[in-house]
Amino acid sequence: MIALGCDHGGINLKTAVMKYLDDRKLEYKDFGCYTDESVDYPIYAYKVAKAVANKECELGILCCGTGIGISIAANKVKGIRAAVVSNEFGAEMTRRHNNANILCMGGRVTSEEDAVKFAHIFLTTPFSADEERHTRRVQMVSDIENGVFSAE
Ligand code: RB5
């Protein structure tokens, strides 16, 4: 199950991603918003981030005007690694190396066609769990989040 969310600045990209998921019969839960009326992106970032953090959904996709505000908000939820992506390489690498669990994109900077490409790559690329350096680094990020990280 994929968690989807957006604000008014990203609803075009979320709609394009929903069509991509519908075409492939992939399951998703849409946490809003549902119109282009101005809304506050932290609401939707929080709903999607909680669904991913509590494992109701495996991965999430969030869209706002730039992808930035909604990623900052999502990353405040423990266990979330939300990445703003603006190219195909980034979509792949943030899964392979960072084990990102939420893809963030911006409706004012990314086309609908590119957003679908980035979503496809993000949803089909696995984390490189067999490469110790990547699991170590992701664990270090969790340690920072949990207040047990030592940089020594
Ligand atoms: C809304 O105008 C805009 O600030 C929002 O969509 C997003 O780009 C914030 O980072």
Question: How many other CB atoms are there within 10 angstroms of residue 104's CB atom?
Answer: 32
Identify the pLDDT of residue 119: 98
Q: Which phi-psi region, left, alpha or beta, contains residue 63 (left: φ > 0; alpha: ψ -120 to 50)?
A: beta
Residue 41's pLDDT is what?
98
User: 88 C-alpha vs ligand 1 centroid, how far in Å?
Assistant: 22
pLDDT digits (tens, 9 = 90+) for 71-83: 999 999 999 999 9
Q: Is 63 known to be catalytic?
A: no
- Verdict on whether the full-model pTM lies above 0.95: yes
pLDDT score for 152 = 83
Q: Determine the distance separating the centroid of ligand 1 and the alpha carbon of 37, expressed in angstroms.
A: 13
Question: Per-residue pLDDT tens for 10-34?
Answer: 999 999 999 999 999 999 999 999 9
Cα 76 to middle of ligand 1, angstroms: 17
Q: Which residue blocks in the chain are alpha helix, DSSP H? A: 11-23, 41-53, 68-74, 88-96, 112-124, 132-145
- Is 33 noted as a catalytic residue in this protein? no
Q: In whole angstroms, what separates CA 50 from the centre of its chain?
A: 12
Q: Which residues of the chain have pLDDT under 50?
A: none
Q: Whose CA is nearest to atom 8 of ligand 1?
A: 65
Between CA 132 and CA 62 the distance in angstroms is 29
- For residue 149, give every residue at least 6 positions away whose Cβ sits within 8 Å of its Cβ, in sequence order, or none: 140, 143
Query: In this predicted structure, what is the pLDDT of residue 87?
Result: 98
What is 34-54 written as a DSSP string?
-SSS---HHHHHHHHHHHHHT
Instruction: Name all residues whose Cβ lies below 6 A of ligand 1.
Output: 7, 9, 41, 64-66, 68-69
Write down the catalytic residue from 6, 33, 64, 104. Answer: 64
